[in-house]
Amino acid sequence: MAGRGSFIESFPLFGYDLKDYDELFTEKLDLLLQINKQEIVTWKGKLRPSIPGRGVYPRPIQAALPLWLAVGGTPASAVRAGKLNLPMTIAILGGAADQFVPFVNLYRKSAKDAGHDPAALQLAVSSQFYVADDATRAADEFYPSYEVLMNRVGGERGWSKMNRPQYEYLRKSGPLMVGDVQQVVDKILHQHELFGNTRFLAQLVTGYIDHRKVLKAIELFGTRVAPAVRKALSQPAVPVV
């Protein structure tokens, strides 16, 4: 996955200027796509030295790496992914999922306008995740790690502190996939109904959760959540009368 990232602290570390944020990504993505297509690369840009017919190694074992664009909701990112006919992954970390429907529509429209087949596009949705046998226990076990993560990032960016009511809103009405098996299945299926996505990526946040419980969450995801989602999606939709 290639994405611009939501953290900007690395710009001064690598000697980049933040005003070049978009142009840097555009250039680097173009170079990455060329490297992925061919062994000997001739490339010229503004923000890094040119490459005059050099080989880039090691090569992938397959013909080309399966590259996805990872995005967070910037419309220009959806347009870029669509025009380039690249698979796209959306990180849905806040707000209601249906707010991203216009974003996905823009992705498919941009692909169509560029002469690509929107029906052939790959789309993934990524959300933070934790599942347990009991919904209340899942919420209680996940919250300490999530609170620390959000308040550490928020402290760097001047956000207000995360609290339990905010967390419960994100868990029940927002994008957090935290609950029992059926709750998580229902949320994944709801997202698929909205987006028609081909993949779901579950992000574990594990700092204060016992390792055995983390392994149990992974087991539940693999043995109960995923099979239930696959079964539901393999069945034809029931017509509404």
Cis peptide upstream of residue 87 (ω within 30 degrees of 0):
no
pLDDT for 194? 96
10-33 pLDDT, tens digit each: 888 888 899 998 899 999 999 999
Q: Which of 67, 96, 122 is the last residue of a domain?
A: 67
Mean pLDDT of all residues in 117-142: 96
The parent domain of residue 86 ranges over 68-234
Tell whether 136 is covered by a domain: yes
Within 8 A by CB and 6+ apart from 65, the residues are 36
80/111 Cα distance (integer angstroms): 9
Same domain (yes/no): 18, 113: no
Total number of domains in the chain: 2
Same domain (yes/no): 164, 80: yes
Same domain (yes/no): 140, 55: no
Same domain (yes/no): 151, 171: yes
- Spatial contact of 65 and 36, defined as CB atoms under 8 Å apart: yes
Q: Can you count the helices (H) and strands (E) in the chain? A: 9, 7
Same domain (yes/no): 110, 210: yes
pLDDT for 117? 97
Q: Does residue 42 surpass a pLDDT of 90?
A: yes
186/12 Cα distance (integer angstroms): 43
Q: Does residue 153 surpass a pLDDT of 90?
A: no
Q: Which of 40, 67, 94 is the last residue of a domain?
A: 67
219/213 Cα distance (integer angstroms): 10
Three-class DSSP category at 177: strand
Same domain (yes/no): 73, 172: yes
Which contiguous run of DSSP H or E holds residue 32?
A: helix 21-37
Rg (the chain; Cα; Å): 20
1/4 Cα distance (integer angstroms): 10
pLDDT for 236? 58
Specify the residue for token string 């560029």. Answer: 114
Same domain (yes/no): 57, 92: no
Tell whether 205 is covered by a domain: yes
Strand extents, DSSP E, the chain: 40-43, 51-55, 69-71, 88-91, 123-131, 177-179, 199-204
Mean pLDDT of all residues in 123-137: 96
pLDDT for 190? 95
Same domain (yes/no): 130, 101: yes
167/148 Cα distance (integer angstroms): 12
Tell whether 116 is covered by a domain: yes
Tell whether 63 is covered by a domain: yes
Same domain (yes/no): 33, 21: yes
Tell whether 239 is covered by a domain: no
For helices 75-83 and 101-113, the axis angle rounded to 10 degrees is: 30
Tell whether 194 is covered by a domain: yes
- Spatial contact of 179 and 203, defined as CB atoms under 8 Å apart: no
171-225 pLDDT, tens digit each: 998 899 999 999 999 999 999 999 999 999 999 988 899 999 999 999 999 999 9
pLDDT for 152? 87
Same domain (yes/no): 82, 120: yes
Cα-flanking dihedrals φ and ψ of residue 179, to 5°? Answer: 165, -160
Identify the band that residue 4 occupies on the pLDDT scale cut at 50, 70 and 90. confident
Same domain (yes/no): 53, 101: no
Mean pLDDT of all residues in 168-172: 92
Q: Which of 19, 50, 67 is the last residue of a domain?
A: 67
pLDDT for 84? 96
For helices 75-83 and 21-37, the axis angle rounded to 10 degrees is: 20
154-166 pLDDT, tens digit each: 887 788 888 999 9
82-123 pLDDT, tens digit each: 999 999 999 998 888 999 999 999 999 999 999 999 999 999
Three-class DSSP category at 20: helix
Same domain (yes/no): 76, 177: yes
pLDDT for 240? 43
**Domain containing 220 — which CATH number?**
3.20.20.30
Identify the band that residue 137 occupies on the pLDDT scale cut at 50, 70 and 90. very high
Residue 75 identity? P
Tell whether 216 is covered by a domain: yes
Residue 181 identity? V
Tell whether 240 is covered by a domain: no
pLDDT for 235? 67
